[in-house]
Structure 1
Amino acid sequence: MATQELEHCDTADAVLAYARSSRAARDRAEVDLYEATVAWAVMHSTYDDRQAAVLPGTDMMIELAGLGAPEVSEFAIIEYGTALGMSSDAAVRYIAHVVEIRYRLPRLHAQVVAGRVPVWRASRVAEATLGLPPEGAAFVDQHLAPVAATLSYAGIDRLVEEARARFDPEEAEERRLIAAETRNLAIHLASATAGGQQVDGTVDITGCLDLADALDLENALAREARNLALAGSDQPLDVRRSQAVGVLARAQTTLDLTGDDTAARVPARQVILNVHLTDQALRGVDPTTTGAGIHLARIEQTRSLTTLDQVTEWLRTPGTQVAWRTITDQPSNVRGGIDAEAFEHPFRTQPTPTGPRRQPAPIISQDIRWFADHPGLQAFQRRPVDLTTTETVDTYEIPERLAEQTRQRHPRCTFPHCTRRARRRKPGETHLDVDHINAYDPDGPPGQTNTQNLATLCRRHHRAKTHTAWHYRATPTGFLWTSPQGYQYLVEPLTTTDLGRQPPDPPPTRPA
């Protein structure tokens, strides 16, 4: 329809008028959505703490906005955000801003409803006032509402800080002390991906150190850079300094920094990289061969790509331990009943010889292949993670082998619009839950815990599925979810498709 109208705009004035009307329609639609969100929050909110008290794991009334605003049902947020095509985290942020504006910034709310202040700008104000006491929020609302449409972000922040200093001096002082403590060190693992485009295998580091610590670090880096040069490295100084950080990191984990032999120390944590290599790379296929593709490896923790040469460079580091296992999506090529690639082969790069060649010969794909083809080097065997087979057990508890297959088959939460990864990326994180699609019936037939009846869900969406009418079933391409209000969503590996309100599937029966 819009395209047909635009085709009739044959003058500059007509195009400009069309653009202005489209902008006005968009702004009005934003206000309509804002008011609908207010109405939804009111329907699912409470000020009564007794109503907010629920059983652990079930629906919870959560505090979204500052003091004085009502609490909102968590499961209501999930359904509303899904209907708008948002992840649950994005829905929490959006509804928090709406509730903050509606209940704690009434003058700004009136400006938004009248169309004089864009919703996005009001949300920026709400984000800044969430931590203020009610008196501070009222102060900001009184002074900001008349000029909110034009006031700069810096002006908004200054006004909020003044309100905090006036009405919450203790918090203002605490924030000042925190701001004064600027020392930090950040290792930007996300920079290894740069949108998934870089394959250079590098990571940025930024920080602010105490002067004495900085001088010590400078001396240590200079010393190790010289040592690398004396050892034969012909790399530029900057490269050797960056390598020196790794040398220090590996060496310092064994030093006693306490001076007390009896004091407890935190042990050095082993760094584990889950590296996915193509079968062409492992076979040593020439990457210039038609159809072979480039020899790339994917680092699971950072979702970044790197080259096979970079992996072999890591393998050359003394003391590196490697565990080898393939993950297949095609039937295994069984040779003599045993697939040599289906086992893990722990080994050290020194002094263990790498196959027919010995150190310091570089480790390349043929060496990895050699380990896979020589069962005598196995420290232990593990079954392959074959994504095409159906594993079945007769218990409710899911064994780790079956749980790992499920996480590899469904690497993210299978709830609509959710992007949480199924496997943990950092120490201290947990894997996503592995859920029975059809609820397990202890009095039912055997084999209910199987590959086809399992999927990955983050804890929030697992709770929503367990304690509300959310339910889903597997389809040939993904999963079909039905919300408590009867809306359906097709979740496929890369997309979520909103199918609108359909004749709902009957909710699955749940064992008591």
Structure 2
Amino acid sequence: MFDTLADADTGAATAADVLARAASERSAADAAEARLLQQAAVWADLHPPESIHHAATFGHAVPGSEHEVPIAGAGCPLVAEFCIAELAAALAMSTTAGKRLIGHALELRHRLPRLWATVHSGQVPAWRARRVAEATIHADLTPAGATFVDQMVTPFAHAVGIAQLDRIIAEALQRYGTHSPSPDPEGGDRVHDSRFVQIDPPLDPYGGTALLRGELDPADALDLEAALATGAAALKDLGSQASLDVRRSMALGDLARRQNSLDYDHDEESAGFEARSARTSTTGRYVVLRVGLAAAVTGEGPGSTVEFDRLATLDQGQLQVLLDQVKSWCAATHTAVTVQPVLDLAARIRSRGYQPSAFLREQVIERDRTCVFPWCSRPARGCQLDHIEPYDPDPDADADADGPSGTHTDNLACLCTFHHRLKTHGGWTYRMLSPGEYEWTSPHGHHYLRDHTGTRQQPRP
């Protein structure tokens, strides 16, 4: 339908028509995003901390139950944390993205009111305002600092760039400090520290690379630069034909494997830092990578062969990598390869008692791959295993471990810590339709189908 519509528009429209329509659609999208911010703020208003009822019922907070959370800067209202997931799911986004949306709306409305007004008057697109809100939240500005940023940015918010915004934030920090300063040894306030290192998932899941970015202390940056230059040169001397940039990235990986941590030994204190560092840098480190390969047997009898797919799945982050890349990892020095037994994901495994066996746990992790809550992508290996039907602690129930509330393949699913709490205390329910396929129902009756292909909203009955 869309191709036909596009062909019809292309045949009947002039270039001027297309530009006019595109500009109109952009304006409509900006207006919709502004209204969405407004609704996010109203949703937060509907779920203040007072809406949490467990304290009145039990006299104290039940472990894992809902509590209020700050999701924007100082001076913004707190929010009942479980409400975030329902709005996010309704908007087809992860809980983390929903938390960011609501936080930005509250930050703009309460701490950046001038900028908030320009968004709703159509002068500034919502995405630009949200970028400012993210910066003021991240910097942990005081209310006075946020007001300063609001005054400085709003007149030219329609065109402010990242570098300009960073300078304004830095000036606000210099003038007003952070909201929660901690005293330094000299009795002054802590200076805002912007250092960080972050590894982002690749934009292209088949690219075989990940993006590393960060901000370092100048001395650390110079030391790292020297180490990378030395490592890249050493790789070239050893015969590497890779480009300088590739050799520098390889050198950084070598640093990670050889210097995961410094082993401080009291007996070596007199030897000095250089001696301890030299000893550590020659110590090999092992990195555990779980790689899944799909294989097929061709032929029969002694002449049969095993052929592997060209793509492998790296368990960390659910990344797709080429088989040649896995081979290069295995060929590297200080590499230990462990072959695990093949798991039959269709088999029904059960365990006596509440705790699943290691074999059952591994099967569920391999089947689900990620947290199975709508739009959550946290890797399953870092998740908890949830009994879909609550486990029955009755001793008689243990005799029937295959029952609906038992500990077995059909009653276990991977949930990250937050979504496990949400399912237990937040009114969400779900059921397994088939292995790896789940139907979720939100407290307000919205339905979501989650499987290996992702999440789809279901029509309400």
The Cα shift of 1:133 comes to 0.7
**In the alignment, what sits opposite 2:291?**
275
Matched, 1:142 2:151: yes
State the distance in 1 between where 2:257 and 2:133 align: 46
Find the counterpart in structure 1 of residue 340 from structure 2. 325
**Unaligned 5+ residue runs, structure 2?**
183-187, 271-275, 300-304
Matches for 1:102-141 after TM superposition, within 5 Å: 102-130=109-137, 131-141=140-150
Q: Paired residue for 2:185?
A: none
In structure 2, the partner of 1:499 is: 458
Matches within 5 A, 1:286-325: 295-301=310-316, 303-307=319-323, 311=327, 314-315=330-331, 317=333, 320-325=335-340
Amino acid at match of 1:484: P
Query: Which position in structure 2 is the counterpart of 1:436?
Result: 387
Cα deviation code 1:234-264 (max 9, x no counterpart)? 5559799988888888778999875726999
Alignment CA distance shift 1:46-1:464 (3 Å): closer
Alignment correspondent of 2:42? 39
Q: Tell me the alpha carbon deviations over residues 251-300 of structure 1, each in whole angstroms, 9 at most, x when there is no partner.
A: 789998757269999997532222333424999xxxxx9x9565554443
Does residue 89 of structure 2 align to residue 73 of structure 1?
Answer: no
Q: Which amino acid aligns with 1:405?
A: Q
- Give SS of 2:371's match: coil
- Structure 1 residue aligned with 2:93: 86
Aligned partners of 1:6 and 1:18 also within 8 Å: no
1:405 aligns with 2:376: no
For 1:380-419, what per-residue CA distance to the aligned partner results, in whole angstroms no more than 9, with x for missing partners? xxxxx22111011231222222111110111100000000
Output the aligned Cα RMSD: 4.6
Find 1:481's aligned residue among 414, 437, 440. 440
| C-alpha deviation, 1:489, in angstroms | 0.4
Query: Which deviates further from its counterpart, 407-416 or 4-13?
Result: 4-13
Equivalent position SS for 1:480: strand
Determine the C-alpha separation between the residues in 2 that align with 1:110 and 1:249: 48
C-alpha distance in structure 1 between counterparts of 2:21 and 2:147, whole Å: 39
8 Å CA contact retained: 1:297, 1:308:
no
Q: CA deviation at 1:55?
A: 3.5
| Aligned twin of 2:24 | 21
CA contact (8 A) 2:383 2:417 kept: yes
TM-score, length basis structure 2: 0.74
1:94 and 1:223 map into 2 onto residues whose CA distance is 46
1:450 CA drift (Å): 0.9
SS in 2 for 1:472: strand
**Which residue identity is paired with 2:170?**
E
CA distance in 1: counterparts of 2:438 and 2:9, whole angstroms:
39
Give 1:325-364 correspondences, 5 Å limit.
325-327=340-342
What's the counterpart of residue 64 of structure 2? 57
| C-alpha distance after superposition, 1:491-512 (max 9, x if no partner) | 1112210114x23xxxxxxxxx
User: Match for 1:469 among 418, 427, 437?
Assistant: 427
Q: Which amino acid aligns with 1:314?
A: C
Separation in 2, partners of 1:73, 1:492: 28
Shift of 1:457: 0.4
Letter aligned with residue 123 of structure 1: R
Count of matched residue positions in the alignment of Structure 1 and Structure 2:
420
Which amino acid in 1 is paired with 2:444?
Answer: Q
CA distance in structure 1 between the partners assigned to 2:454 and 2:253 by the alignment: 39
Secondary structure in 2 aligned to 1:260?
Answer: helix
Partner Cα distance (1:198, 1:483) in 2: 36
- Alignment check: 8 A CA contact 1:386 1:405 kept: yes
Matched, 1:392 2:350: yes
Residues 153-172 of structure 1 correspond to what in structure 2 (within 5 A)?
153-168=162-177
Cα offset, 1:174, TM superposition? 4.8
Percent pairwise identity: 36
CA distance in 2, matches of 1:438, 1:21: 50
What CA distance in whole angstroms lies between the structure 2 residues aligned with 1:386 and 1:499?
Answer: 30
Specify the SS of the correspondent of 1:498.
strand
Preserved contact between residue 480 and residue 490 of structure 1 (Cα < 8 Å): yes
Greater helix share, structure number:
2
For the residue of structure 2 that corresponds to 1:70, the secondary structure is coil
* AA in 1 matched with 2:339: W
Cα deviation for residue 315 of structure 1 reads 4.6
Please say if residues 253 and 268 of structure 1, whose CA atoms lie closer than 8 Å, have aligned partners that are also in contact: no
What residue number does 1:379 align with? none
User: Which entry has the higher C-alpha Rg, 1 or 2?
Assistant: 1
Query: How many angstroms apart in 2 are the aligned matches of 1:254 and 1:293?
Result: 36
Moved more, 70-79 or 122-131: 122-131
2:380 alignment partner, SS class? coil
The Cα of 1:106 is off from its aligned counterpart by 1.7
Cα distance, 1:466 vs. partner?
0.2
Aligned-partner Cα distance in 1 for 2:157–2:253: 50
State the AA in 2 paired with 1:38: A
Where do 5+ consecutive residues of structure 1 fail to align? Answer: 284-288, 328-384, 424-430, 504-512
Asked whether 1:260 is paired with 2:267, we answer: yes
Where do 1:121-270 residues align within 5 Å? Answer: 121-130=128-137, 131-168=140-177, 174-175=190-191, 178=193, 195-198=204-207, 235=240, 258=265, 260=267, 270=286
Q: Any idea what the Cα deviations from partners look like across 1:18-55, whole Å, max 9, x if unmatched?
A: 33432332222112211111110111124999999844
SS in 2 for 1:86: coil
Moved more, 10-19 or 454-463: 10-19
Q: After superposition, what is the alpha-carbon deviation per residue over 1:36-92, rounded to whole angstroms, capped at 9, x for unaligned?
A: 111101111249999998443111211111111110111000111111011011111
Task: Report the TM-score, using the length of structure 1 for normalisation.
Answer: 0.68
- CA shift in 2, pair 1:57/1:209, >3 Å: same
Q: What does 1:445-464 correspond to in 2, within 5 Å?
A: 445=397, 446-447=400-401, 448-464=406-422
Specify the code of the residue in structure 1 equivalent to 2:439. L
Aligned-partner SS, 1:455? strand
* Residues 240 and 222 of structure 1, relative CA distance in 2, 3 Å threshold: closer
For 2:366, the aligned partner's letter is Q
Please give the alpha-carbon distance, in whole angstroms, between the structure 2 residues aligned to 1:461 and 1:76.
Answer: 12
- Give the residue type in structure 1 aligned to 2:155: P
Output one character per residue of 1:113-154: Cα deviation in whole Å (capped at 9) or x when no partner. Answer: 222221111111111222211112122223433332233443
